[in-house]
Amino acid sequence: MKTIKTFALAALLSATAFAVAEAHMTFLNKEATQETTILATLQLPHGCDGRATTEVRVKLPEGFVFAKPQPKAGWELEVIKGDYQKTYDNHGDKVKTGAVEIRWKNGNLSDDFYDTFVIQGKVSGIAAGTSLAFPVIQMCGDAVAAWDQVAKDGSDPHGMKNPAPLLKVVAGDSHSHDHDMAGMDMSGMGAAVPAGETVKAGDLEISGGFAKAMLPGQPVGGGFFTVRNSGQADDRLVSVTSPVSGEVQIHAMETKDNVMRMRQLKDGIAIAAGETVKLEPGNLHLMFQKVKTPFKQGDAVPVTLTFEKAGKVDLVLQVLSAQGK
């Protein structure tokens, strides 16, 4: 017998009513193999009765664990953490808490366009034949659409007006192994900075530059390095460019009240006199947008850093594995 597992979704009602288009919100790949890490790609085909989508909230079901969302250009990212119902094994570590809801916020996706929202996670402890439901709230300003209807066991969900997106869990072969597919480590776990080239510009010393390998077709990558200011005057990293991506943004991540948030630092990063600033996974980092060719382990990513006082500095980031090793 097939079963459905889902989180209860708090009702979000809007004073503004609108007609929901017939096209439903679904996953690009509707199947997921047991005990594997996948990229759950949510397809958002339309807005709210002609209005632009400004926020997408996704509740994560029990059994979809160690979740890491893919950031999107022009959107703020919020990761809400909580307790799992069970304890899960993460490469020998017993994990009881993690992401339970992902929110892409303050965007502006016109009803004329189509987009996807990607979450990496592991399907763990779920029987083959089970369908995992991911209730979604789509917000268009003060208008709200709740894609949260879940069919009872054995019933057909296609007749529902607002069905929750589903992933059907299928059996894996006995020789399958889980792999970390993260193009960027969003868990906040630190990674060892490799011994790379060291570049000096005035009183600044930039070292340990690296990027992480990306998945084929993934348009976003992360970059990291360390800046030491040995002078007596403050400086500031104001912008970054690279010939391998359409745009490079400077981002910060922080966790407050058990909620992880990522935001773009449009004013750059201050490099105080006598201080060292590290760009590292789970903290300050570069975000490569619209990458032309996904970074592969062993590649080199050229970047140009622009500082307020030190000026332009060319740096090469060595591409390590997806785990930053």
pLDDT in tens, 27-80: 988 999 999 998 899 999 999 889 999 999 999 999 999 999 988 878 888 999
- The model's pTM is 0.64
4 pLDDT more than 60: no
pLDDT of residue 28: 87
CATH class of 4-170: mainly beta
Contact 223, 211 (CB under 8 A): yes
Three-class SS of residue 159? helix
Number of H helices, E strands in the chain: 0, 24
User: 10 pLDDT exceeds 60?
Assistant: no
Which of 25 and 73 is assigned the larger pLDDT?
25
pLDDT tens string 111-143? 998 899 999 899 999 999 999 999 999 999 999
- What does the alpha-carbon distance between residue 101 and residue 261 come to, in Å, rounded to a whole number? 12
Q: Specify the pLDDT at position 163.
A: 92
pLDDT value at residue 261: 79
Tokens (6 digits) for 40:
């759950």
Confidence (pLDDT) at 157: 62
Report whether 58 contacts 238 (CB < 8 A): no
> Where in the chain are the domains?
4-170, 199-320
Question: What does the alpha-carbon distance between residue 305 and residue 225 come to, in Å, rounded to a whole number?
Answer: 11
- DSSP labels for 236-257? EEEEEE-TTEEEEEEEEEEEET
pLDDT at 257 over 80: no
What average pLDDT is seen over the chain?
A: 83
- How many whole angstroms separate alpha carbon 5 and alpha carbon 61? 7
- Residue found under tokens 């030190």: 310
- Other beta carbons within 10 angstroms of residue 307's beta carbon come to 22
Architecture in CATH of 199-320: Sandwich (2.60)
Give the residue-averaged pLDDT of 254-283. 88
- 171-218 pLDDT tens trace: 976 444 454 443 334 333 333 334 457 899 999 999 999 999 887 667
Domains 4-170 and 199-320 share a fold: yes
Percent of the chain surpassing pLDDT 70: 82
**Confidence bin at 238 (pLDDT 50/70/90):** very high
